[in-house]
Amino acid sequence: MTDTNITKEDILAIHPKVAETIAAALGCEVEQVKLEASLIDDLGAQSIDFVDILFRLQRAFKVKIPRGKIVEEARGSLAESEFEQGGVVTEAGFERLRAYLSEVPADRFKSPLDVADIPRLFTTETFCKLVIRQQRAGATADAAKPS
Amino acid sequence: MDDHDRSFSFVDRVTSVQPGVLIRGHYAIPPGLDVFPASLVAEAVGQLAAWAAMAAVQFRVRPVAGIAGRIDLLTPVRPGQTLELAADLESVDEETAAYGGTALADGVPVIRLQDCVGPMVPMADFDDPQAVQERFQRLCGPGAAPGGFGGLPALALDRRGGEAGQPLHATFQVPVSDPLFADHFPRRPVFPGSVLMHMNLLLAAELAAEIPPPRPGARWALRSVSEVKLRAFIAPGDALELEAHLSSRSVHSATLAVETRKGKQVVSGARVLLAPEDEP
């Protein structure tokens, strides 16, 4: 799954509010939350911070973001056993991740990749795209509701 | 016969519940205690919310302390009072429980929790799921026998160095054994985040007393705790280092940052808001 329908303009439009939200969760300066910043390696995020960030984004953008949504969407139609085996991302899973996390520089993808290390790839832009997708999914769901 | 150890249980009875949505209950603070700190009132609200969350996921997972967006410390409570507890759940799934809540004593609001999130952990790792479910049924029926809590362990902070008004540092050795570990939790003892918060607030109060008063005849009083984040479990026997420092101050308020480390690992952090209060 790729994001050809999410433009750079879409991402830049949402980036300031996402950056502000992430900065508040991590207790860092908003200027540090650049689009390409890795939340773990550059901003020092830990597991509980991702929970915090997702809830703050939900409240800030009024969208529902299930935990694990990024990996779930990256996996797409692959069965779990096709995506990972024994805690390590399969070759097929690795390619899905590279395509889905197209904003992540190629040199950050190291194979073999442990499932536990997937969040290490996430950047600020990953969360911008996540919010945009959830906003659109919400809008689609609302439009499908009977009036 | 309820033979569960209730030495760290702060809900005596659930009076109404919609699993995953809302829950109400109460807790009688044992009259024989010396004090019952605000952090334990917050624990009581959190435990009440946890029951509604666990019931919503058929007790497969349970929430543990994680994030509290804001806790307003409204009124101190006294041993012997009964807490009327309320929690409203924002969302519950297999990963997290998000909630807010309040506690009243004698009709007076004593604490308010907002934007709290508890990460879910496998129930069986911490407790017997069947036994927990039975305890919930008892709480929803006749209720549990009150009075299980016998007080906190000795929490002497060993303050290290520092001049008045400068960042405060202290060390604390988590006891290897204490009655509360039998309840928190039966299969995996964990030093409660709320007790850690209590110690952080003790240190914050000590620092607040050293900051120049906001005006003559007034002192700084603790009003709320925000951005609370517990990053790791604390086990019996762990050695902790606590720090409190002043991060901002004006005529109307001051903010302290508190942090706890286990070795190099930051295990918790929070901000404490102070406001002027007239000296008694």
Q: Please write the tens of the pLDDT for every residue from B181-197.
A: 999 999 999 999 999 99
Distance CA(B276)–CA(B188), nearest Å, equals: 42
Q: Please write the tens of the pLDDT for every residue from B99-147.
A: 999 999 999 999 999 999 999 999 999 999 999 999 999 999 999 998 8
Q: Taking all residues of chain B, what is their mean pLDDT, rounded to a whole number?
A: 94
Domain membership flag for residue B148: no
Q: Are residues B192 and B251 in the same domain?
A: yes
User: What is the model's pLDDT at position B157?
Assistant: 79
Domain termination residue (choose one: B76, B106, B140): B140
CATH of the domain at B261: 3.10.129.10
Distance CA(B19)–CA(B136), nearest Å, equals: 11
Asked if the C-beta of B117 comes within 8 angstroms of chain A's C-beta atoms, the answer is: yes
Q: Are residues B170 and B126 in the same domain?
A: no
Distance CA(A128)–CA(A34), nearest Å, equals: 11
Q: Taking chain B, what is the end-to-end CA distance rounded to the nearest angstrom? A: 48
Is the pLDDT score of A1 beyond 60? no
Q: At A121, list the tokens.
A: 């790839």
Distance CA(A97)–CA(A92), nearest Å, equals: 9
Q: Are residues B104 and B205 in the same domain?
A: no
Q: Are residues B225 and B168 in the same domain?
A: yes
Q: Are residues B165 and B123 in the same domain?
A: no
Domain membership flag for residue B152: no
Q: Cis omega (within 30 of 0) on the bond before A112?
A: yes
Domain termination residue (choose one: B72, B107, B140): B140
Cβ-defined contact of A67 to B230 (cutoff 8 Å): no
Domains of chain B: total: 2
Domain membership flag for residue B203: yes
Distance CA(B50)–CA(B98), nearest Å, equals: 10
Domain membership flag for residue B147: no
Q: Are residues B244 and B199 in the same domain?
A: yes
Cβ-defined contact of B96 to A49 (cutoff 8 Å): no
Q: Which residues of A touch B96 (CB under 8 A)?
A: 51, 55, 67
pTM of this prediction?
A: 0.91
Residue A53 distance to chain B (closest CA, Å): 11
Residue among B44, B26, B102 at smallest CA distance from B71: B102
Q: Are residues B76 and B183 in the same domain?
A: no
Cβ-defined contact of B231 to A48 (cutoff 8 Å): yes
Cβ-defined contact of A48 to B269 (cutoff 8 Å): no
Distance CA(B103)–CA(B87), nearest Å, equals: 9
- Best residue in B64, B114, B117, B271 to probe A by mutation, most A CBs within 10 Å? B117
Residue among A64, A134, A70 at smallest CA distance from A96: A70
> Within 10 A of B171 (CB to CB), how many other CB atoms are there?
12
Q: Are residues B135 and B166 in the same domain?
A: no
pLDDT band of residue B165 (cuts 50, 70, 90) is: low
Domain membership flag for residue B146: no
Cβ-defined contact of B119 to A51 (cutoff 8 Å): yes
Q: Write the single-letter amino acid at B167.
A: P
Q: Are residues B82 and B168 in the same domain?
A: no
Beta strands in A8-143 (DSSP E): 84-85, 88-89
DSSP B264: T
Domain membership flag for residue B130: yes
The tally of CA atoms less than 13 A away on the side-chain side of residue B262 is: 16
User: What is the model's pLDDT at position A3?
Assistant: 57
CA distances from B19 to B54, B88, B104, B126 (A): 8, 10, 22, 21
> Within 10 A of A8 (CB to CB), how many other CB atoms are there?
10
Q: Write the single-letter amino acid at A11.
A: I
Domain membership flag for residue B271: yes
Q: Are residues B190 and B78 in the same domain?
A: no
Is the pLDDT score of A2 beyond 50? no
Q: Please write the tens of the pLDDT for every residue from A74-94.
A: 898 999 999 999 999 999 999
Which among A46, A51, A68 has the least Cβ separation from residue B117? Answer: A51
Residue A59 distance to chain B (closest CA, Å): 10
Asked if the C-beta of A44 comes within 8 angstroms of chain B's C-beta atoms, the answer is: no
Q: Which residues of A touch B95 (CB under 8 A)?
A: 51, 66-68
Domain termination residue (choose one: B96, B114, B140): B140
Domain membership flag for residue B113: yes
Q: Are residues B131 and B24 in the same domain?
A: yes
Q: Are residues B119 and B164 in the same domain?
A: no
| Range A9-17 average pLDDT | 96
Q: At B170, list the tokens.
A: 């202290």
Quick check: helix, strand or coil at residue B115? strand
Q: Which residues of A touch B227 (CB under 8 A)?
A: 27
Asked if the C-beta of A30 comes within 8 angstroms of chain B's C-beta atoms, the answer is: no
Quick check: helix, strand or coil at residue B218? strand
Q: Any idea which residue has 């496998």 for tokens?
A: B122
Domain that holds residue B96: 13-140
